[in-house]
Amino acid sequence: MDERTRADVERAEAALVEHYPRLVRLAYLVLPPSMGRHRRVLTAHGLVQRALPRTGRRRHPDGGLPAQRGPLPENGYDLVRLRTLRLALAHEGRAGRGLPAVPQVWGLRLFPRAGGADELALEQALSAVPASVRAALGLWQLEGLDEDAVRALLERAGATDPEAAQRAAEQLDRDTGAGAAALLNSGEFDPCTVQTRPTDLLRRRQRLRAAVALAAVAAIGAVVAALPGGDGAPVGRPSTPAEQALDPAKLLRTRNEQWSDTARVDFTAWPARGRQAGDKELLGRALRVWAAPPAGTRITASAGTSTRPPDHPPQLLYAGLIDNVMVVVLHDGERLVRYAEPEDATPTLHFARVDDADLTTGAALVIGRGNGWMRYLLAPWISDVAVRDLLAPGAPPHGLHVAPDGVTDRIPQPPPAGGGCGHWPVAQFRPSTRIGAPVPPFLLADLNDLVPVHLTYVPPPPAGAAGPVAGQREATDPAALATWARTACGLGALRGAGVRSVGNWAFAVQRLPEGGGSATWVCTRADTWRGPGSATVRFLPPAVRPGDPGRTAGRSDGTAACSRYGPHVVGDVPWRSPSGKWYLLAAGSPDVDGLDATGALRATGKGPALAAPAPGPAPAAEVVGRLRNGGACGRSGRRGGGPARGAARGVRLGQESGQKVSGFAVRVALRRAGAGTGGPPARAPGT
């Protein structure tokens, strides 16, 4: 037991008042970040105020905490610091419990001033370590204690394994490039200088109404139970599927290692992760908002994705704190649902369709997003992730740190629409060797949806090749990266369209007249999760810089063009040689055996390429491809702009025919049908 005289308590009170901000900052640092900033602020103040000892003998010091070990502190400040530290450490693992008795704040939310990127990164790192490590870092960097003093104080405060906590704190300090001492003394970690915002007014009103209704139901139940013959026993009935879908206890959870021993490698193989995966209050709140979004809830859905309520218990993928936002990610077998609960704003829901996901398209999801940055949550089968710039194909990728719960460091986003195109960052993923068959690294790009887009590549056909081309492969070899460097900026037009994958098919290589070098014809195919896709044909002449864009020859939406179901495509552009002479250039896919130009400019050629002298930049000509089986490739797609804007004349995406027909008949038939086909025939191995 522990005795303290009135003089001891008075000295402790004086020290507490004098160093109150310092003690509250230490308590705020040690408390679990998963509590949220508002609750951490109030709890930190409450713990410091409760740290003041009492006079006389006490059987249970510190409000029920174990008695101190070793001699009593020598002065008042050491005493209140030790008691504050012990109270804060005791909150580890029980952050969901109520606040201390004082202070109480109703109708307002309090939180420290927001810091910069370094402070946010440190806060994220602190949330992933135990309270003892945060305490060691605070005693070292805030209190200025040496190693022996930190270790002794942690031991007296009841921390488990103080030496390990101290080593982890030192490692955390080394990983903080800006210096932990300066960051911990910033406004981001100052719970005495706070901002205020109102609580969610609509939710508060709804809770009040619900409390009144619950009280009325309870009163009626009590009256019924008091009636003669009423024993108050509940009438058992089976719960409906809709009720089960809203029960957090019934959420589906996949075991941690299931991904390494399953034939279905997609989101169903993801385990539940995050520090709040057991927080039933948070999970229940997310399910209720999904089922019946309150007024003001921001709802975003990828193109073609339903926002209907859950009709069966979904699978839990993640629940935790991401950049001061509580995030829950659920999967119902067809959709991903991301619930975000900012402290000072209304909740948000983001829906994305992910049926038929696979090892690559189910490898990551966007767990957090900010101004110019985002974070991924990785699939458990990803062993390594790096970031590279598509516009710098020769630059090596740089590694990216991943937290133990699978959340990456911040990744820069591509430039916004209208903001130029000086860089285009993408993530390069390497699957674990435990996945089974060898799978090469692959690229995913963020296009403002919840799920990133898989990038692929099909190389040019060998010289003189005929028939189907080789299957698509991952866009990570030098040839693929060189092609993507010249087409990456076109990805901006696909933002928010619910795109699943985008592939570059280099369907032809053409020698240019007058020794102008070689040009590559590329068809970029974008497939959506809902089925329809779009195709864009580009002409890539020799480039001065790796990222020089090509010329768009045309685009077709809602089509099977450039897919494996119709691998026939023809494109044509006007081109000016170094001597100033104009040509009409055209090329077709490997099954094209000849090209015919009709109209104001008439020309014909054998093989999949044509170069005809032209009177100017825009000859009124139509180009039709003749297939080896006697069919024809006609037009399907919009023309680009004139040469002044760097666009080409058009693209012809053909459909195979069993009979020889005129170019006019093919064009009329395709215009009436409004569709075409073409493109590479197969998926990449392993995808």
Helix (H) or strand (E) holding 126: helix 117-126
The alpha carbon of 157 is separated from its chain's Cα centroid by a whole number of angstroms, namely: 39
Cβ atoms of 126 and 141 within 8 Å: the answer is no
pTM for the model: 0.64
83: which 2 tokens? 């008691």
DSSP 115: -
664: which 2 tokens? 């006019």
Instruction: Determine the Cα angle at 439 with ends 433 and 441, to 5°.
Output: 100
User: In degrees to the nearest 10, what's the CA dihedral of 206, 212, 218, 223?
Assistant: -150
Phi, psi of 155 (to 5 degrees): -65, -40
> Which residues, 6 or more positions from 174, have their beta carbon under 8 angstroms from its beta carbon?
none
- Give the separation between CA 540 and CA 193, rounded to whole angstroms: 58
pLDDT beneath 50: ranges in the chain: 1-2, 57-73, 95-99, 224, 229-236, 468, 635-652, 654-687
How many C-beta atoms surround the C-beta of residue 580 within 10 A? Answer: 6
The gap between the terminal CA atoms of the chain, to the nearest Å, is 67
Peptide bond into 619 cis (omega under 30): no
Distances (CA, A) of 353 to 104, 356, 360, 369, 534: 43, 9, 15, 19, 18
pLDDT computed for residue 213 by the predictor: 57
Helix (H) or strand (E) holding 203: helix 201-226
pLDDT computed for residue 298 by the predictor: 93
Distances (CA, A) of 41 to 13, 16, 108, 190, 223: 21, 17, 12, 9, 43
- Give the separation between CA 356 and CA 657, rounded to whole angstroms: 32
- Among left, alpha and beta (phi > 0; psi -120 to 50; other), residue 311 is alpha
pLDDT computed for residue 339 by the predictor: 97
User: In degrees to the nearest 10, what's the CA dihedral of 46, 49, 50, 54?
Assistant: -170
pLDDT computed for residue 610 by the predictor: 92
Identify the CA nearest to 400 among candidates 379, 386, 381. 386
Q: How many CA atoms lie within 13 A of 413 on its CB side?
A: 21
How many C-beta atoms surround the C-beta of residue 224 within 10 A? Answer: 10
